[in-house]
Structure 1
Amino acid sequence: MADRVRRPRVPPRLRRLLPRSVRARATFAATAVVTLALGGSSAALLAVLHANLLRTARDSAVEQAGKVVELASREHLPSVLAPHGGSSVWVLDASGKLVAVTPDLLVRPVAAPPLPNPPLPNPPGPNPPGPSAPGPDRSLPQLPPDEKPLLVGARLHDRRQQVITMSVSGPDGPLTVHAAASLRDVEAAGDTTGTALAVGVPVLVLLVAAVTWRVTGRALRPVEAIRAEVAEITGHDLHRRVPVPHTGDEVARLAVTVNATLDRLEDAGLRQRRFIADASHELRSPIAVLRTQLEVALAHPDPELWPELLADALEDTVRLQDLAADLLLLARLDAADPVAVELLDPAALFAAALAARTADRVPVTAELADGAEVLGNRTWLTRLLTNLVDNAQRYAATRVEVRLAVRGPDVVLEVRDDGPGIPAADRERVFERFTRLDDARSRELGGAGLGLAIARDLAGHHGGTLAAEPARTGARLVARLPRAGSAD
């Protein structure tokens, strides 16, 4: 897609600057997140603090101006207003003459110097800047000449003030009331808070980085121990296991999983070595017999003995061929190679396979239920039945029974015989490769101990199971295969 959003690639130079270890990346990420969070919180805190202090100063000025307005609306104002709330107040009449001030705007000069600025006219708008002080000819009313005060103009022009202007009409005529609240406390509080944050935020960020570095190191220490142990394990010492920490967290579960994997690898290695040894032994016996027969034929070139020798050699050759075919099938099953599957009717499939068995030692009776369908491979399912019946034929005394039934979501195949049966302690061991409960009889009947092992693997590849279950007499082998469509 042309409009697909592509992830930006990190330049190689910048990639080299990024931390590589998990510990460093975790510390960097935690530090960056805390830095951004604290930086944003600090900026928001300073903004909220400044806004609150400004609102408090404005409310103070509004309150002080309101009291003066209320007083001026009822009576004549005194020349010196009573201080309240820390706000400076001055009152001008319609001509701009100063009528009243708060004491903080008055001084007692030794000589009456001229004021630096002429008086300002009544400023328009709700919040004009503070007016300049009146000229030297403007004196506060109701004060004796020797007590004439001087209005400090510089104080009124201080920019660090919140000025409120109100108008009122009263006994003194129309008046304009100005109230100014100092913002020095606001700036001082902001400076103090900013300094505290400038010192505290870096310290807190460094503390978070140090704690994250230490905690991450302690958390990853078992991972490093697991890695080091796994790195030293080779194919010859699969018995070794990684240490499992007593934390019960993800690292402990990782160690348990690694040990379980090593258990399976060790078991697979043991099975492989045992399989190779058993296969070598099984192949060596018929090859040795076949060689002996050929050597006898060469040593005694009697044409009358050749038919018997050739028959024995052919029998051993067939045994070798069957064994090689079984080994190849086991190798294919172990490799889990994909095979073609189709929807099959096991009743018809098994009926055809049993009908083709014309040389069985004991008769086989079949009871096959219709209406069962499985998804599988025709050749492998036929081989599953054949191996189970062949095993029963080796040990049966008078009969072999084959039953096929549908039980819930499973198609159940049972093969029974009236032979000596399978002891309870050996019901699982019989499915191991090259296992014979009666070794002499199995060799006499041509068994290599692979039939049941192959049958269980075939059932497993079809999503089913094969087990030796209890029976009153003889052996009872039960294969359960999932019925097609049962998952729906």
Structure 2
Amino acid sequence: MKDLRRRVVNAGSRAGARLRRVEWSIRARMTMLATLVTAVLSVFAVWLVLDHHHQHETTHRIRHVYGADLEMVHRFAHRRVPPVIDVEAVAATQLVDRAGRVVSASVRVIGQPRMATFVPSRRPSATDRRLCDVPGFPGRCMIVAAMWVPALGGDLVAYSALPDPLWYGSEALLAQLLAAMAILLVIVAVGTYQLVGRTLRPVEAMTAELAEITTTDLGHRVPVPAHHDEIRYLATVVNDTLELLEAALRRERRFTAEASHDLRTPITGAILRLEEALVDPDAADWPRMAKDLLSDVERQQAIAEDILTLARLDADRTAQHEHTDLAELARIELRRRLPGRVPIRTDLQPGVVVSCDRLLIARLLANLLDNAQRHAATAVTIAVRAEDGTGVMAVFDDGAGIAPEHREIVFERFARLPESRERDPKGTGLGLAICREIAHAHRGTLTIEDPGQGTCLVLRMPLVN
């Protein structure tokens, strides 16, 4: 009993700890996932902003350099060109003749070679290029626009240049975007952590309730959320498991109490008889006392064997299962039996093959036959047949039968009806309980069906495909 309770309590404690680990794991994973996705999307958004800003700034500067070239066209068309040009909208300008000589230039590039060698393909026309290491601007890339200027003394090519904008626009813009992205990531991380925590609040309540099992009793149940989702399903499964554990503990407690009572009664009787005999040894009927004591010991031995059988049924015996013909097993068991109070008739259909532990099914059949022969009026019948994918073994007696309200009670441990106590005073009340446990161990059922007169116990087991 204490061992079962300890296992149940430990199971509740482990389940609570596991739920806590699951909760923190989900929180951490969801927070990291949301933050990672937000970070990727933020990087993509920042790149789009910077790319748009770069394209906009490039287009704006191209317009400026073309504007500077047009200004020179208006200022020097068919006029003499001064050696120094003053154009504020751009970083540098040059006027180059057809021979490639710099005729005029802005202050920044006076004395420098021509900024570019490309010229518009036709006149009048203009073109632009992105050039790096332009004279006067070492280590920089520039946007340079070229346009024909019909100046006095011959056509010239006007070059205007502005620095190519940086890919990140400016340090201030990049800092603002990174700061906004960092703030967004913090908000998403904190928000996701809190949101997941609120979503998993029912799990926290379940964890707290499971922890109570370690300090109180097994009557606790975890709260079931109102909304239908996976957490509700988890809570339902946990409550069902706790119900099964509590039922198992109740059965174990009842079994222990009943077993101790049935074992204590013959021991107490034996002690009383021995004490009375020792008071007056000469008057004691020692042979009769020995006979009574032997009867008590035999009853204790029967109870102990039945209890051990029930304990063994809790172990996994699937390794001992083998394909068995129920009809053949019944014939072998009948050949081993001694003649009883009433004859046993048979109706055995061959070929009803199931997977079972032969020893346990033989024990079940022997118990059913013993029980049927004690209560039968004239005969006992055993039948084997296949029915709806199951193998059926039925044991029928034509006795007084069992009242419908008692047909489940007789399968309880140590349960004995008055008629049974009269017919078998030495019985343990564990025979049918053992039979049902054997049936359950084979994924089968053992029930009492109504034959009209008498009692019919029916074992059903899955057939081998």
| Aligned counterparts of 1:280 and 1:119: Cα–Cα separation in 2 | 114
**What is the match of residue 95 of structure 1?**
99
**What is the match of residue 85 of structure 2?**
none
- Alpha-carbon deviation of 1:50? 5.2
Kept after mapping to 2: 8 A contact 1:469/1:476: yes
- Alpha-carbon deviation of 1:241? 2.6
TM-score, normalised via structure 1 length: 0.70
* Equivalent of 1:383 in 353, 360, 363: 363
Kept after mapping to 2: 8 A contact 1:65/1:166: no
| Aligned counterparts of 2:78 and 2:370: Cα–Cα separation in 1 | 127
Is residue 451 of structure 1 aligned with residue 455 of structure 2? Answer: no
Kept after mapping to 1: 8 A contact 2:374/2:423: no
| Aligned counterparts of 1:277 and 1:443: Cα–Cα separation in 2 | 25
Is residue 25 of structure 1 aligned with residue 28 of structure 2? Answer: yes
- Alpha-carbon deviation of 1:343? 3.1
**What is the match of residue 162 of structure 1?**
143
CA deviation vs aligned residue, 1:99-118 (integer Å, no higher than 9, x gap): 999xxx8xxxxxxxx88613
| Aligned counterparts of 2:322 and 2:336: Cα–Cα separation in 1 | 22
CA deviation vs aligned residue, 1:242-268 (integer Å, no higher than 9, x gap): 333334444443433333232222212
Kept after mapping to 2: 8 A contact 1:373/1:483: yes
* Equivalent of 1:413 in 393, 400, 415: 393
Where does 1:345-384 land on structure 2 (aligned, <5 Å)? 345-384=325-364
**What is the match of residue 40 of structure 2?**
37
| Aligned counterparts of 1:373 and 1:67: Cα–Cα separation in 2 | 103
* Equivalent of 1:471 in 442, 448, 451: 451
- Alpha-carbon deviation of 1:448? 2.2
Cα distance change on mapping 1:190 and 1:313 into 2, 3 Å: same
Cα distance change on mapping 1:466 and 1:175 into 2, 3 Å: farther
| Aligned counterparts of 2:195 and 2:130: Cα–Cα separation in 1 | 57
Q: Does 225-234 or 289-298 show the bigger shift?
A: 289-298
Q: CA RMSD in A?
A: 4.5
2:224 counterpart SS class: coil
Counterpart amino acid of 1:41?
A: F
Is residue 404 of structure 1 aligned with residue 384 of structure 2? Answer: yes
Cα distance change on mapping 1:122 and 1:89 into 2, 3 Å: closer
| Aligned counterparts of 1:194 and 1:118: Cα–Cα separation in 2 | 37
1:479 counterpart SS class: strand
Counterpart amino acid of 1:394?
A: R
**What is the match of residue 123 of structure 1?**
116
Higher relative contact order (CA 8 A, sep 6+): 2
1:203 counterpart SS class: helix
| Aligned counterparts of 1:128 and 1:444: Cα–Cα separation in 2 | 113
| Aligned counterparts of 1:270 and 1:314: Cα–Cα separation in 2 | 33
1:44 counterpart SS class: helix
1:243 counterpart SS class: coil
Is residue 481 of structure 1 aligned with residue 439 of structure 2? Answer: no
- Alpha-carbon deviation of 1:165? 4.7
Where does 1:248-287 land on structure 2 (aligned, <5 Å)? 248-287=228-267
- Alpha-carbon deviation of 1:453? 0.9
Q: Does 209-218 or 362-371 show the bigger shift?
A: 209-218
Cα distance change on mapping 1:394 and 1:262 into 2, 3 Å: same
Counterpart amino acid of 1:93?
A: D
- Alpha-carbon deviation of 1:224? 3.4
- Alpha-carbon deviation of 1:52? 3.0
| Aligned counterparts of 1:352 and 1:232: Cα–Cα separation in 2 | 54
Unaligned runs of 5+ in 2: 1-22, 81-88, 119-128
Counterpart amino acid of 2:363?
A: R
Unaligned runs of 5+ in 1: 1-19, 81-85, 106-113, 133-153
**What is the match of residue 209 of structure 1?**
189
Report the count of equivalent residues: 422
* Equivalent of 1:229 in 183, 203, 209: 209
TM-score, normalised via structure 2 length: 0.73
CA deviation vs aligned residue, 1:404-454 (integer Å, no higher than 9, x gap): 112343221111222233333333332211122336635645332211110
CA deviation vs aligned residue, 1:38-83 (integer Å, no higher than 9, x gap): 5532553355335533664587589889999xx9xxxx96669xxx
Sequence identity (%): 36
Cα distance change on mapping 1:44 and 1:346 into 2, 3 Å: same
